[in-house]
């Protein structure tokens, strides 16, 4: 009896994980710009990874490997949002505008627009960085 419940729980967790990863993949493929994609990539994926790894941990039972799986889970939870933040911040520093509902440009055009604004053709975000930081500092004061 308890084994059946456990098996059911494992299968459910793993399938739910697969579902959320499917959602995340769909999001990364369908959403309009890099920022929206960063949302779904980090988040649905975190839950997808979390549920699947929970399923794996449950399947493994008590043991060193399970502890490692839990560590892996914690690690994915801590690093995925950080990576997403790093990526979206890099996009912001390159001057890529977020897409809005009333904007009819595609992601490609937004990218071209960002590249066109930087004098050296978008090869370095350095100019953007140093230029807009004093501005932001004013706001925090």
Partner 1 sequence: MIPGLSGDFVTQVFLLVAAGFMLLAVAMFYRAIVGPTTQDRVLAVNVLGTNTVIVLALLAVGLGEQSLVDIALVYALLNFLMAVAISKFTVERGDVL
Partner 2 sequence: MSDNRLLVPVSDTETLRQTVEYAVQTAVGTEADTPATVRFVYLNPARANQRAEATRRTAEKLLDRVAVWAREDAGERELVVETIHLGADRYIFSPADVANALVTEARGQNRRRVVLDPEYDPGIGAMLVQPLEGKLAGVEGIGVETAPVERQTRRTPVFELTTLGEIGTLFGISFVFYQVLAGNVTWLAANPVEWADKIYWLDIVTGTISATVAAVALSQVTLSTAPTRRSVGRVLRGLVYLPYLLVEIVKTNILVAAVILNPQIPVEPRLTRVRPALWGGLPMAVLANSITLTPGTLSVRITGRSLLVHTLVPRAREGLVDGGLERAVRFVFYGRGAMRMPSLRERGEADPVPADHVRPVDEQSGDDGNGTDTAGSNDTDGGEGR
- Which parts of 54-83 interact with partner 2 (CB under 8 A)? 62-64, 66-68, 71, 77-78, 80-82
Distance CA 109, CA 32 (A): 11
Contacts of 102 (CB under 8 A, 6+ apart): none
Query: What are the structure tokens assigned to 16, written together?
Result: 């739910």
Could you say which of 3, 5, 100, 104 contacts partner 2 (CB under 8 A)? 100
DSSP, residue by residue, 103-123: ----HHHHHHHHHHHSTTTTS
Binds 116: which of partner 2, partner 1, none (CB < 5-8 Å by kind): none
Query: What are the structure tokens assigned to 37, written together?
Result: 């994609």
Could you say which of 32, 43, 47, 87 contacts partner 1 (CB under 8 A)? 87
Distance CA 35, CA 33 (A): 6
Give contact residues for partner 1 (rule: CB under 8 A): 3-4, 6-7, 10-11, 14-15, 17-18, 21-22, 24-25, 28-29, 34, 37-38, 41, 45, 48-49, 52-53, 56, 59-61, 63, 65, 68-69, 71-72, 75-76, 79-80, 82-91, 93-94, 96, 107-108, 111, 114, 124-126, 129
């Amino acid at each position: 009896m308890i084994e059946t419940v456990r098996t059911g729980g494992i299968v459910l967790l793993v399938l739910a994980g697969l579902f959320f990863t499917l959602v995340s993949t769909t999001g990364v493929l369908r959403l309009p710009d890099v920022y929206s994609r960063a949302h779904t990539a980090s988040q649905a994926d975190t839950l997808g990874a979390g549920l699947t790894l929970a399923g794996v941990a449950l399947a493994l039972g008590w043991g060193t490997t399970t502890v490692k799986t839990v560590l892996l889970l914690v690690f994915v939870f801590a690093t995925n949002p950080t990576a997403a933040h790093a990526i979206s911040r890099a996009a912001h520093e390159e001057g890529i505008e977020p897409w809005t509902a009333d904007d009819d440009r595609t992601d490609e055009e937004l990218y071209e627009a960002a590249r066109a604004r930087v004098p050296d053709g978008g090869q370095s975000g350095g100019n953007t960085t140093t230029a807009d930081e004093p501005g932001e500092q004013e706001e925090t004061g």
